[in-house]
Amino acid sequence: MAQTINEIPPRLVFLFLCCGNFYYLSRRERNSWLHEDNDTLKLRKPLRLKSFSNIINGISPRFEKIYNEAVKAHRENLLEICGGGYRKALEFLVYDYAIKKNPESETAIKKMGELSNVISTYLDGTFLKLTVCAATWLGNESLHYVQKYEDLGVDDLILYIDDVVQAIELTEKLEEKRKLMPKLEEKALKMSGNNKQ
C-alpha cells in the first residue's frame, strides 16, 4: 500500500566536503529518534578535462580528444589502460608535429611505423627529442608486461607529456617571433658572442 505524503517521515539531508570529496548523508525521523538510512553516497568532483592551446590544437586536432579520454580512464582509476591512452595521445601529437615541420615528407612520416623513427628523423632540438623520448618510453612501459621503470608511473608520464607540449609551444612561439623580427636571431647570436648562423 502506498504512503501519502503526510505518512512519509521527514528527511534530513547533509552534504559535506571531506578530503576533497563531497558526501551525501540522509536520515529520517522515526518515532522521535533519528535513524540512519544507510544511504551515504560519495559524490564525485566534476571531471576537469584538459584544454590545450590553439597552437597545440592547430598542430594536432585529435591530441586533446585522445588525451582527455585517457583522463577519463584515469579518473575511473583504470590505471592498467589510461597509460596507453596517454601514450597514444603523445604519438598523435608527435606525428602531427613532425608533419607540420616537414610537410613535404608527410607520406614518409605516416609510413614510418615506429614513433622512435619519427623522433630521430624529424624532430629538432635536443630538449624536445629527449623529452619526447622519455615520455614515449614511459608510455610504452604502461603497455608492456614487464616494467623496467617500476618507480615511475602514469603521473610521471603526464608530467613528461606536459613538458613535450610546453617545448612544442615554445618552439612554435619562437618561430613566430623570428618571422615577425627577421633580424632577431642574428642580433641574439652577436650578443652571445656566437657568430655562427
pLDDT of 156 reads 95
CA distance 102 to 156: 30
Q: Is 23 exposed, middle or buried (0-12, 13-18, 19+ CB in 10 A)?
A: middle
Residue 138: helix, strand or coil by DSSP? helix
- For 152-196, write each residue's pLDDT tens digit: 999 999 999 999 999 999 999 988 888 877 676 677 778 877 655
Cell 656566437, residue located:
194
- For 31-46, write each residue's pLDDT tens digit: 444 444 444 455 556 7
**Average pLDDT rounded to a whole number, residues 79-99:** 96
Nearest 5°: phi and psi at 130? -65, -40
Q: In the predicted model, is pLDDT for residue 48 greater than 70?
A: yes
pLDDT bucket at 84, cuts 50 / 70 / 90: very high
Q: Domain-by-domain residue ranges, the chain?
A: 7-43, 54-192
What pTM value is reported for the model? 0.72
Q: In the predicted model, is pLDDT for residue 16 greater than 60?
A: yes
28 - beta bridge partners? Answer: 11, 35
Identify the weakest region by mean pLDDT among 57-66, 67-76, 112-121, 177-186: 177-186
